[in-house]
């Protein structure tokens, strides 16, 4: 069985420092047509507990994408519920 290579992305923080993250999931919400991505810091991927970050994202025609923070509590609860559902399916502990 071959190990699937995970997608990695670099996300700058508020100070402009770049950090490497591994993509756990991407998913779309049909009702709102909004796309989301869940990532974990690459250095934490093998840790017992990982910190999961989720963002809204939009792709452009160059296959680049822009990340947006989730600031609405109701939106965050929906994303968190979806993350737990996907994690259960993938047998990942969040």
As a whole number of Å, the end-to-end CA separation of the chain is 25
Q: Is the pLDDT of residue 83 over 90?
A: no
**What was the pLDDT predicted at 85?**
87
Tokens of 64: 């680049």
Q: What is the mean pLDDT of residues 17-37?
A: 91
**What was the pLDDT predicted at 3?**
42
Share of the chain above pLDDT 90, in %: 48
Q: What is the mean pLDDT of residues 75-90?
A: 86
- Residue from 75, 64, 88 nearest 9 by CA: 64
Q: What is the pLDDT of the chain when averaged over all its residues?
A: 85
Q: Is the pLDDT of residue 93 over 70?
A: no
CA of 16: how far to CAs of 10, 13, 69, 87, 89, in Å? 11, 5, 16, 30, 35
């Amino acid at each position: 069985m071959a190990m699937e290579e995970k997608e990695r992305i670099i996300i700058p923080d508020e100070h402009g420092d770049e950090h490497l993250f591994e993509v756990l999931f991407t998913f779309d919400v049909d009702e709102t047509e909004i796309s989301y991505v869940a990532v974990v810091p690459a250095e934490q991927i093998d840790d017992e507990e990982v910190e999961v970050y989720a963002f809204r994202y939009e792709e452009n025609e160059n296959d680049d994408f822009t990340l947006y923070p989730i600031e609405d509590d109701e939106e965050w609860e929906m994303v968190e519920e979806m993350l737990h559902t996907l994690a259960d399916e993938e047998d990942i502990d969040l």
